[in-house]
């Protein structure tokens, strides 16, 4: 699988995975634009999203309640 070109703040292994939004964090400047000096414009919402470890890693042998929780910008989220 080919990685996207550019400056991204969301782990590639989360692409296409379903998580649960557990908290709205705040609004922040888009870091993908800011990395290239283009920080003007509307800020984006940031959400705290929880993913099951078993959903992320097929061979995961830990407890079923283990999860990974990350803060993700709204432009990287899709409705399930």
User: What residues make up the domain containing 17?
Assistant: 12-74
pLDDT at residue 6 tops 80: no
Strand duo 20-28 + 67-73: pairing: unpaired
Indicate if the pLDDT at residue 49 is higher than 80.
yes
Q: Is residue 56 part of a domain?
A: yes
- Structural domain total, the chain: 1
Neighbours of 78 (CB within 10 A): 7
pLDDT at 56 over 60: yes
Q: How is residue 45 written in tokens?
A: 């919402």
pLDDT tens column, 35-44: 777 776 778 9
Q: Is residue 80 in a domain?
A: no
2 falls within a domain: no
Give the separation between CA 76 and CA 46, rounded to whole angstroms: 10
Which one has a higher pLDDT value, 33 or 72? 72
Per the prediction, the chain carries an average pLDDT of 86
Cα first-last separation, the chain: 22
- The residue among 3 and 12 whose pLDDT is bigger is 12
49: domain CATH number is: 2.30.30.50
């Amino acid at each position: 699988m080919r990685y996207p070109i550019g400056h991204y703040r969301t782990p590639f292994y989360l692409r296409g995975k379903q998580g649960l939004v557990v908290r709205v964090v705040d609004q922040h400047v888009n870091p993908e634009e800011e990395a290239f000096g283009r920080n003007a414009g509307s800020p984006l919402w940031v959400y705290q999203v929880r993913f099951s470890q078993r959903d992320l890693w097929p061979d995961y042998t830990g407890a079923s309640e283990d999860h990974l929780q990350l803060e993700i910008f709204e432009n990287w989220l899709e409705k399930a």
